[in-house]
Amino acid sequence: MAVIDQPTITLRNGVQMPQLGLGVWRAKDGAEVEHAVRAALACGYRLIDTAAVYQNEAGVGAAIRSSDVPRKDIFVTTKLWNSDQGAKNVRAAFEASLERLGLDYIDLYLIHWPMPKKGLFVETWKEFEKLLAEGKVRSIGVSNFTVEHLEELAKHSETVPSVNQVELHPRFPQEELRRYCSEHDIHVQSWSPIGGQGSDLLDEETLHDIAQDHGKTPAQVVVRWHLQHDLIVIPKSVNEQRIAQNFDVFDFELSDDEMAAIDGLATGQRRGPDPNEFNTA
C-alpha cells in the first residue's frame, strides 16, 4: 500500500505534529485497538491519540512497537485523567502511562479536563512543565479548556499549551475559542470531529451534495473541512475500511463556497460534557 504524505502542524516549541490522526476512544484494549493502530500506520497515519482513561494504552503501545514504522516517525498523544490531577499525583500517573505504552517518551501529554471545581489544573500544569523540561515529553497541552481556563493558566505560567483538544465539528465550531487560541499560538485539535456517536451530522444534505461533487463520502468532506480550517483532527474508528477512508482526503480541496456552506451548519450545540460542569474523577 502506498503511504500518503500528510501535512504537519508546527507547535510553538518547534515540534512537528501530524494534522490528521487516529483517535482510539472506546476502542477495546488488546486485539481491537492493536488492529486499528496497525491499520492506521499501514495507510499513512502518524498520529495516534489515546488517554489513560481509555484503558487501551497497552494495546496502542504494542501496535506501535510491532510496526515497521520507526518510533521517531509516530506522534503519540496521551492524557492525564482527572483523578490524577494535583502535584503529588502527576508524575506517578505519567510514569504509569509510559509503562503501559512501553515507550521511552510521549510526544504530547494533555490535561484531559480542567475540572475547575477541583481547582488543581494550575498545579498540575506546573508538573507538566517539569516533565517537559526533563525531556520525558516533547510537548504539553490541555484538553477541553475554555478561554476562561486558558486565561487562568496564563496568569500562573509562562508556558503556553501547545495544543487544546476540544469537541469541535461543523455544528459546534468553537469560533471564539479558535480565535483566542490562534492569537496565543495554541493549536486546536478536534475530537468528535464528525459529530460523535449517534449524531446525524453526516445526514445533512449539504454534506451529501458536496461529497457527490467530489466523489467522496460526507465523512471525508467533514475531515477535509477540519484540515482546511487548520485544525488537527482525530476521527475515531476501529473499522479498517473506514480508517483508510478517513485518511483518503488529500486528493481534493473544498472551495470557499463549500467551506462557507459547511460553516453554515453550525448550531452552537455541544454534544459532549460542558468543561465547566464535568467533574467526573
Query: Which domain CATH number covers 21?
Result: 3.20.20.100
| pTM assigned to the model | 0.97
CA atoms of 231 and 251, how far apart (whole Å)? 18
Q: Is 204 a member of any domain?
A: no
Q: What are phi and psi of 119, to 5 degrees?
A: 70, 30
What is the amino acid identity at position 246?
N
Q: Is 73 a member of any domain?
A: yes
Domain count for the chain: 1
pLDDT for residue 1: 47
**Residues with Cβ within 8 Å of residue 276, at least 6 apart in sequence:** 114, 116, 146, 148
Q: Is 28 a member of any domain?
A: yes
Q: Is 209 a member of any domain?
A: no
pLDDT for residue 170: 98
**Residues with Cβ within 8 Å of residue 170, at least 6 apart in sequence:** 195, 201, 204, 222, 225, 262, 263, 265, 266
Domain that holds residue 89: 11-199+231-237
pLDDT for residue 4: 65
Q: Is 265 a member of any domain?
A: no
- Return the active site residues: 54
Q: Is 121 a member of any domain?
A: yes
CA atoms of 278 and 138, how far apart (whole Å)? 28
CA atoms of 63 and 67, how far apart (whole Å)? 6
Averaged over successive runs of 10 residues, the pLDDT of the chain (281 residues) comes to 76 97 97 98 97 98 97 98 98 98 98 97 98 98 98 96 98 98 98 91 97 98 98 97 97 98 96 93 84
